[in-house]
Every structure is written in C-alpha cells, then in structure tokens.
Amino acid sequence: MAFRITGIFHPVWCGLLLSVAAWARADEPAARVEGPLSPEKALAAFRLEPGLKIELVAAEPTVESPVAIAFDERGRLFVAENRGYPTGPGEGQPPAGRIALLEDADGDGRFEKRTDFATGLTFPNGLMPWQGGLIVTCAPEVLYLKDTDGDGKADLRKVLFTGFATTGSTQLRVSHPILGPDNWVYLTSGLTGGDVVSPDFPDRPPVVLKRTDFRFRPGGTEYEAADGGAQFGQTFDDWGRRFICYNRVQVQHVVLPSRVLKRNPQLAFSETVQNCPAELSPEPPKGHGAAARLFPISSNVTTADSHAGTFTAACAVTVYRGTGLPESYRGGVFSCDPTGNLIHFDRLESSGATFSAWRAREEIEFVASPDDWFRPVFLAHGPEGALYVCDMYRKTIEHPDYLPVEIRKHTNFEGGKGMGRIYRVVRGDVAPPRMQARRKVDLTAASVADLCRMLADDDGWKRSTAQRLLLERRAPEAEILLKKSLAGSGPEAALALRLLESFGALENAAVARCLAHPAAGVREVALEIAESRLASASELLEPVLALADDRHPRVRFQCAIACGASPDPRATQAIARIALRDSADRWLRAAAFSSIAGRESAFLDELLAHRGADAAGGTELYSELGRLLGASRPRESWPRLVHRILQVATGEFEISASLLTGLADALRNKGAARDAGSLLASLVAPEKGERITDASALAVLVSTALRIAGDADQPVARRQIALALLAHADFAQAGAPLLALVDTLQPGAVQSGAVRALGNMTDSKIATTLLDESRFSAYTPTLREEVLSALLAAPQHLPGILAALESEAIPAVAIDSLRRKRLTEHRDPSIRERAARLFAAGSSGDRAKVYEDYKNVLELSPEPENGRAVFKKTCAVCHRLDRDGTPVGPDLFGIRNQPKEAILLHILVPEAEITPGYSAYILETKSGRVLTGLVASETATSVTLRQQLGKEETVLRSDIESLVSSKLSLMPQSLEKTLSRQDLADLVSYLKGEQKAK
C-alpha cells in the first residue's frame, strides 16, 4: 500500500442493505464534502460509470481497517484487518491486527455476523483459503491458520515461512497470497525482500529476495523467488499471465522469466516486467517517474488542466474475470488509487509479447468519491461475480516515513482508526433477488465431477475455487475427467493441463495435442510445459517447431523460449524465423537470444541467409546480436567474425554497421581494448590474404558512416546507426566531423550520438573542445548533461574536466554530489587531490545552515511561470512534472501536497530524504568506464542502470569491476549558487502547483 489521508471518528451504520446506482453522471462536478461521512452518506457520494451500482456490504463496527478479503468455498468472507497501520499499537499494547470471519446469516447480501477468526497479529495484509483454513501474510511470517473445532476461531497456527523483511514501512511488506493457475502460491514482496526460510526445512539455505517476489507449492515442499517485485497487488488473467503493480504504475505484466535469461549468461538483458499503461510517456523504469492520468473528484487533489491527477498509490491490480458486471469489463483490469479516492479501469489489449492498458472512458473513473476519506486498497471477485472493494477509510493514509519530520508533527495519522467499509459493485439492471441467489454457495460437498465441470464456468471465481479444491483433494478419479477437459474451448483446457501436470498424470501425447489447440492461450501453456520435456521427448519437437509461424505473438514468444531447450538445428532455424518476424519487439528478441547460447554463429548465418523485408526494425536485432557474439566468442575468433560481417552487401549498411557496433561495444565492455580509437582496426582478420581485403572493406564502411552521419537529408535513425559505429573509429579520422555535429542546429538525437561517440575516444582535445566556455554556455540543459555524462564515464577525460572546473569554464555546481564523491575518492592520486581541492573551495558547508539562511525566500512574491522555466532548465534532466522532464528521480506530482518549507528543503538539502528505490549507484566496468545512476532492473547475469536524461545501459555482471551504492543524491549540490533567491521562490511555487494571481 502506498498511501495518504486526513478527520474524525463517526461510527454509524444503518442495518439496511444500502446501494446507490450510477444515475448521476460521473463527469459532473461533485459537491465538496467534509469527512468523515457515515456509511450511508459515503455511499450516496459515489460516482460510477454508467450502468453500475455500488452496495454497502459491511462497515464499522462490524469491520475495521480492511486491507484484504477472500471468500472460501462456503461463501464465507474472511477479512484481514490492518488495525495497527501505520505505526502499530502504543507502547505496551498488544498487536492490533485481526482476521475477521463475516457471514451473511439471513442471505440479504449484508455480512452482519462477525467472528474474530484470529487476533494478536501485527500487520496482516493478505489471505488465501487453503485446506479449510487460511494462508495469511503477516511479515516476517507467512502463517497457516485453521479452525479445527468449528467455533469460527483459528486454533491451529503454523508458520509456513519466515524471514520476510520488516525493516521498511508497514505498508511495504509481503502480501497478496494468491493461487496461480500454474498451482503455485504467489506472494508479493512489497519491495522489501528478505531472507526467507521454512521451519519445516531448517537445513535448506534461505531464499534471498532482492527486487523479486516469492512463490511456493501448497504444502511448502518447493519454494523459490518469483519474478516481479510487486508493491501491493497482483492478479492473473484466464490464461495464467501474471500482472502486478507499483505505486506509480497501475498495471505491469511479468513477461519474461529470469530463469530463461539465465540460460544465456552473455545476454545483457535484465528486465522481466513491462509497464502496460499506454499513457506512460516516456516509460518509467519499473514504475519510477511518469504515471497514467487520473480524474479524481475529491478536493485534496489538484485537477487543473496542467495539473491533472496521476497515480501516486496504485494498488490492488485485478484482471476482471467475473460475471456480475457488464461483459465489456471482462478481461479488463481494475486498480485502486487511495490518494485519489477512486477505482480506475483499463482495457487490456495484446501488444506483441505483452499487453497495453488503455483508459476505457475519457475523463471518467470506474468509481470515484468526493470524500477524501474513501481509501480503496483491495479488490476481489465474489461468488456471484461482483467486484468487492476494501475501503480502509482513513483521514491520512500516507505512511509517516514518507513525510518530512516537520510535516509529521502536524499530521493526524489516527483519524479513521476504528472505521472501515466493504462494498461491492454490480450491474445496475440485475434484480437483488437474483444476485442474492447467486451468492448462496457451498462447494464443500461438491463432487469431483462437479468441480471438473466448474472449470468451464463463465465466472472466474468459480473456476479458481474449483481449481483449488481439485488441487486440495488430489482425487485419482479427477485425472480421467481432466483429460476430457483438455478438449474444452476455453480456459478450462489450460487449467486441466496444469492440474494434470501437478498430479504427475500429463502424457506427452496430450501435450502434443494441446500444442495444436484452437485457443492461443492453451497453446502458450502447452509450450511452457513442452519446454521442460523437449530434452527427453523428441515427439514434441515437430509440434513445437510448427508454432514458430503462429499468428499470435505470445505463442511465438513461448515457442522461441521452448526451442531453447532443444539442440536440434531446426530449433535454431525456428528461433531465427521468429527473430526476423518480430525484430521490433524487445521481449521477443530477448526470448530468442536467451535460447541460442552456444549457437550464436549458426543463428547469425540463419539471419543473414533470410534477411530481407521481414527484418523491419531489425537494427536492434543485429546490434544486440553483435554484443552477444562479442561477449560469448573467444578473442581468436573475432577477426574471422568481423570478416563474415564485412561480407554483408554494401547496400545493407544498417546490418553490417549494427553488427559491428554491437561487437565492438562488447569488446570494449570486456576491457579487451581500452584504446577505443583503434578498436575497429584491431579487429581486421590477420590471416594472409584477408588483411588487405578486410581493412579496405572496413575503411569503406567507416567512410560510409561518416557520410551518413553528416548528411542532414538522411533519416535521423540512420544517422544514429552511423554515429554508434563511429564511436569505435579513430579520432584522427572521425574526430573533427563528430565535433562539428555537436551543434545546436543539429537534431538533438544527432548531437547526443556525436557526444557519446566522442566520449568513447581517447584524445585529450575532446574534453578541452567540448568544455570550452563559449561552447558549454550555449548548450541546452539536456546537451550539457549528455556532455558531462559522456566525459565523466571515461577515465581518460577526467583531467580535462577538472581543468575546465578549475578555470571556471564550467560551474562546479554542474557536478552532483555522487560524481564529486567518485572524483574525490578516485584511485588516481592526482585526480583525487585536484578534486578535493576544487570541491573543498566550492563547498557550501553545512547544508542545513544553507536551508535556514534561505527560508526567507518563501516570503517573496512568486512567479510560478518563471518557476516552470527554472524547472525545465535545472531539474528536468532527472525529474518529470506534468508534461516536462525525464523520469529518472521520483516523479514530482505528489510534492505539491507538501508545504513549501519541505519543498525548499528537498531542493537545498538533497540528501535530507532519499525515496526508497532511488538510491544511487556507481558502476565501474572492467574497461574502466564509470556509470552513475539508479538500478532500474537486474537479473543473475546483468544489471540495468538508469542514468541522467533517462538513458538506460545494461551491463553484464561478468563485465562489472565494481557496483557500489551510495547515500548521496543524484541531485546537484549548491543550487543556490546558480539560482537567484527569486528563482528559488518561483521554483518552489511552481512545484507547489500554484498559479499566478489574477
């Protein structure tokens, strides 16, 4: 949960089943309300999309602080009550968290009967029915609770796992146990990780969670890290695809298993998760930065045109699989934003190997309230197909850890404790008696045949409950019935496939038949299963290979992964066909590359033999393959490989240039040639008779690159390919043309490409020329950062940078604290000593004192429009606000909820508070390059660093000399030296969201 709120206790609830229909338009202005509201008034205040109604199911005192719910097979409602949030009980008080058992005793739809199923829990935040009891997440433990004597209270309590982190805030913890369609129980880590052990297996090493989630087989005999790294929410669609969320991104797709990436340790690709919202632009790394637009109707969020709401606390992501809402919602995805007091809905559409989420209705939310005490934090399907909503109902839901100390002193974190509501949303045209009849369910006596038939039910809750009960019972008679279900036309076939595999009763012949199933989702599942069997089941190879030409990208994606399990040359050919067809899809490229370890040369031959019109967008395919070849091939093979590349027809410049660039990039990263200026020439084949030919071909290629790079009539993308190759050319030949392209009259992408190319070279004139005072002062803020990043990354340019600082050609404030630290701690004594003198002279000393000295700028009359100009010039290289900037550091939309004093503190004392997930790192490669930034993603084989201007670079762990975290901020120090007091006042005003007084 990523939360924020503010009032008083109002414990009133009417004994009627209350509901409100969406007769009022959701986009009409909402009347301002002052919370807390009674449940009746809160219900009446909701605005919904047309055709829906919302009903009150339970409220205080029957339920308090609900954060998760689950229905068991008897239709009983279990509620996790996080009563201690945010900081727990007072000193000497017992833990306040509880699990409540709610029952609808009279069948009217209201759950009025309460039993305390479990008490004495710290911060319970997730639950899942299993074997007549509950699996409950309550960090540091995952518990199993069960009532064995029928009194409604858990008398059995067992620790299944322990070791989940509790060091972070109470909202960032393990949560959301859910049985996946693959019959594993998945948990979200809450971004905090842990060293997880099972008391049942004390001799096993802990599972270390780092930017990952967790999963286990029911019964606990198998458990492991799971890809994702979710914050508070996860869900599956009908075919078993998993979706998670982050506070800034309401839906993310877990696309590529890290186990697949591990198959090829030379593959520099560290991502496993796709941000799905189509509105994200540019895309933030794993949720950092930009966010989709929201349209709240509550008063605590600025909704002016340029300051329209965005997700700041996205949680409870839920793919809707029920039957209680109109059909148009099926397969779409819901998510909550408790700070915006709303529930959002997106259409989910296939987009290559992954998905895109699109707002379903313009400027209208699925459910919204003007009551800013409404805090939806969890969604669930009910037995009747309705969508259930947990409303924590708090005044302040943001954790104290995320507010400056001064603000905490004046914030009411207790308002709403003792309150809480549960709602359900249903179709507006369905009569209550019909819905009540559908809610009456008891599957405890259902036969195995009944449960197998239920796998084909239209409703997702019924399918998932039937799957769970079949898994619990493991009845031998289920196998024959499940094999018949494989012929089904929908999700029941995929569920049957996975259940049969879990039972050890799935035959290869059945897998082969499912590989030809008419439903693409079933073919995907069959490919996942076939992958693990290909090494020993040759009869599966032909049907797997046939799917390389499937019309569905997700099927081709799974086929590329499955083919990696077969050494057959035909599998290599199939992977190449997929790569050529889907070369523009980074996920399909990664799947292909993960599958060709040890056969990269054969794969290259297949690509070159079949290249042509199908290779649209293929430059990334060839450059990434070049890097893979360079990383995986021994040095003695490089000249012959270059010879093969240079044989590509001269009319296909993009292919040969991209391959050679990728190869040279890999060799540079390995430290194979620290003198980058001679790298290309050093690769020419040494064999007699080939040296002259290859040297001549290389010279032609470099000359072509120079011509294309300098030709303003060429497409920018083609000029970028040429510039990337020239980064490995000789400065004597390419230096002057590249310097000429660092010109504000050139397109930004061309300038950036030229700067990066120059930064890769060794000549001392590069730093001197690029940092010339007249040049540097004319650069745009973006180009300044490009120049500094390129030069600071290369040790050969550091003396030139220090010289420019010493002569004041560039201001010392341009070097942020993290870069200063690197220079003042450099291994070269001359660099270290010069930097120490330089930055000691320019130090502003005690930053807290600077803050105190500048607090009076807040008394000036501000000009927010000038503040926007200051932001674009000074802050936008790393921060995004509204439509301006780049999402490297935290998105700043939420900062306008903070007082001006706190905003000024963040500006002048960057290290005062570093948001979790934004710790800076210094990465040094074996070639001597040094990169600074945030770790955007990582796998066992590679790390992706997100740098200033949003640039990402993935480095193989085998190429990393060191990776060190820092407590310093990426923000520049001493901004007060380059900004006037009026500028500071204007900047704070703009960040606060103020508008000029009229």
State how beta strands 207-209 and 194-197 pair: antiparallel
> How far is 48 from 771, CA to CA, in rounded Å?
57
Same domain, 811 and 942: no
Q: Exposed, middle or buried, 896 (CB in 10 Å: 0-12/13-18/19+)?
A: middle
What is the DSSP-derived secondary structure letter of residue 948? G
Interatomic CA distance for residues 701 and 716, integer angstroms: 18
Query: Domain boundary residue among 419, 438, 457?
Result: 438
101 against 874, higher pLDDT: 101
- The confidence score (pLDDT) of residue 443 equals 97
Same domain, 215 and 239: yes
Do 831 and 889 sit in the same domain of this protein? no
CATH number at residue 119: 2.120.10.30
Residue 533 belongs to some domain of the structure: no
For residue 731, pLDDT over 50 is answered with: yes
Please report the pLDDT score of residue 10 as a whole number.
31
Write the CA distances from 902 to 396, 895, 896, integer angstroms: 18, 9, 10
Find out whether 693 and 644 touch, Cβ atoms under 8 Å.
no
CA–CA dist 239, 244 (Å, integer): 15
Q: Are residues 180 and 106 located together in one domain of the fold?
A: yes
Q: In the predicted model, is pLDDT for residue 185 greater than 80? A: yes
The mean per-residue pLDDT over the stretch 897-922 comes to 68
Domain holding 835, by residue range, is 781-839
What is the mean pLDDT of the segment spanning 826-834?
A: 92
Q: Give 100's strand partners.
A: 79, 116
Judge whether residue 408 has pLDDT over 80: no
Distances (CA, A) of 796 to 131, 508, 790, 831, 959: 65, 59, 11, 11, 19
User: How does pLDDT run across 913-970, given as a tens digit for each residue?
Assistant: 555 555 678 788 887 778 877 787 777 778 887 876 667 888 888 888 888 766 566 5
CATH number at residue 876: 2.30.30.100
pLDDT at 78 > cutoff 90: yes
Structure-token pair, residue 255: 């696309």
Token pair listed for 98: 């509880």
The three-class DSSP label of residue 637 is helix
Task: Give the pair of three-digit tokens for residue 303.
Answer: 């909704």
The answer to whether position 582 is within a domain reads no
Assigned domain for 345 exists: yes
**Comparing 35-39, 403-407, 477-481, which segment has the lowest mean pLDDT?**
403-407
Residues 239 and 295 in one domain: yes
Of 43-52, 174-183, 208-217, 895-904, which range is least confident? 895-904
Predicted pLDDT at 23 = 38
- Residue 964 near residue 711 (C-beta atoms within 8 A): no
954 neighbors 897 (Cβ within 8 angstroms):
no
Same-domain check for residues 828 and 872: no
List the structure tokens of 470: 């079949």
State the pLDDT at residue 650: 62
In degrees and rounded to multiples of 5, residue 815 shows phi and psi of -100, 115
Q: Are residues 235 and 111 in the same domain?
A: yes
Does the pLDDT at position 894 exceed 60? no
Give the integer Cα–Cα distance in Å for 457 and 441: 14
Least confident of 88-102, 453-467, 479-493, 870-884: 870-884
Q: Which pair of structure tokens corresponds to residue 385? A: 């197909």
CA angle 83, 9, 902 (to 5 degrees): 75
Q: What are phi and psi of 525, to 5 degrees?
A: -65, -40
Cα 831 to the center of its chain, rounded Å: 38
Measured distance CA(991)–CA(976) in Å, rounded: 16
| The two structure tokens encoding residue 792 | 């600071």
Of 820, 839, 858, the last residue of a domain is 839
Average pLDDT over residues 193-202: 96
Measured distance between the N- and C-terminal CA atoms of the chain, rounded to whole angstroms? 39
Given a cut of 80, is residue 210 above it in pLDDT? Answer: yes
In whole angstroms, what is the distance from residue 77 CA to residue 80 CA?
Answer: 10
Q: For 821-883, give the secondary structure using H, E and C.
A: HHHHCCCCHHHHHHHHHHHHHCCCCCHHHHHHHHHHHHHCCCCHHHHHHHHHHHCCCCCEECC
CB neighbours of residue 704 within 10 Å: 16
Classify strands 194-197 and 242-246 as parallel, antiparallel or unpaired.
unpaired
**819, 941: one domain:** no
Tell me if 526 is assigned to some domain.
no
**Per-residue tokens: 859:** 């008394």
Q: What are phi and psi of 264, to 5 degrees?
A: -125, 90
Average the pLDDT over each of 53-67, 534-548, 649-663, 964-978 and give the range with the smallest value.
964-978
Last residue of a domain, one of 467, 484, 506: 506
The two three-digit tokens of residue 964, written as one number = 């060190």
User: By three-state DSSP, how is residue 953 classified?
Assistant: strand
How long a stretch of residues is the chain? 998
Task: Identify the pLDDT of residue 14.
Answer: 33
**398 with 3: CB under 8 angstroms?**
yes
Q: Report the distance separating Cα 41 and Cα 969, nearest Å.
A: 46
Average pLDDT over residues 433-448: 87
Overall average pLDDT of the 759-788 stretch: 90
Which has the minimum average pLDDT: 150-154, 251-255, 304-308, 786-790? 304-308
Q: Look at residue 467 in the predicted model and tell me its pLDDT.
A: 99
**Residues 794-798: what's their mean pLDDT?**
92
- CA-derived radius of gyration, the chain: 30
Instruction: Judge whether 873 lies within some domain.
Output: yes
Residue matched to tokens 């030949």: 733
Please tell me whether residue 747 adopts helix, strand or coil conformation. coil
Kindly tell me if the per-residue pLDDT of 391 is higher than 80: yes
Q: What is the pLDDT of residues 669-701, one digit of tens each?
A: 877 655 444 678 777 755 444 455 688 888 999
Considering the domain architecture, whether residues 314 and 378 belong to the same structural domain is answered as: yes
CB-based contact 921:958 (threshold 8 Å): no
Same domain, 940 and 878: yes
CA–CA separation, 450 and 462 (whole Å): 11
Domain assignment present for residue 947? The answer is yes
> Worst-scoring range by mean pLDDT, 155-169, 522-536, 805-819?
805-819
Buried-state track 158-182, b at ≥16 Cβ within 10 A, e below 16: eebbbbbbbebbbbbbbbbbbbbbb
Per-residue confidence (pLDDT) for residue 913, from 0 to 100: 56
Q: Are 422 and 465 within one domain? A: no
Taking residues 823-842, report their average pLDDT.
86
Q: Kindly indicate the confidence band of residue 4, based on its pLDDT and cuts at 50, 70 and 90.
A: very low
Closest CA to 39 of 22, 15, 23: 15
Question: How many percent of the chain have pLDDT more than 70?
Answer: 84
Which residue from 527, 532, 531 is spatially nearest to 514, judged by alpha carbons?
527
> 857 and 823: one domain?
no
Q: How many domains does the chain have?
A: 4
Confidence of residue 617 (pLDDT cuts 50, 70, 90): low
**Could you give the angle at the alpha carbon of 397 between the alpha carbons of 392 and 399, nearest 5°?**
130
Q: Model confidence at 5, in pLDDT bands (50, 70, 90)?
A: very low
What is the 3-class SS of 459-497, one letter each residue?
A: CHHHHHHHHHHHHHHCCCCHHHHHHHHCCCCCHHHHHHH
- Give per-residue pLDDT as tens, 298-335: 875 433 333 347 788 899 999 999 999 999 999 999 99
Least confident of 652-666, 717-731, 867-881, 902-916: 902-916
The answer on pLDDT for 400 being more than 70 is: no
> 104 by DSSP, 3-state: which?
coil
Say what the pTM is. Answer: 0.85
Q: How far apart are CA 603 and CA 94, in angstroms?
A: 63
Mean pLDDT computed over 609-633 = 80
Cβ–Cβ under 8 Å, residues 319 and 331: yes
Average pLDDT, the chain: 86
- Domain for residue 568, yes or no? no
For the cut 50, the answer to whether the pLDDT of residue 195 exceeds it is yes
Distances (CA, A) of 8 to 416, 418, 579, 929: 6, 10, 60, 57
Q: Which residue did the predictor score with more confidence, 847 or 819?
A: 819
546-557 pLDDT, tens digit per residue, is 999 999 999 999
How crowded is residue 745: how many other Cβ atoms within 10 Å of its Cβ?
A: 8
Bridge pairing between strands 156-164 and 175-179: unpaired
In-domain check, residue 610: no
Asked if residue 513 lies in contact with residue 486, where contact means CB atoms within 8 angstroms, the answer is yes
Checking if the pLDDT of 290 tops 60, the result is: no
Residue with tokens 């322990």: 162
Q: Tokens for 331?
A: 């397969």
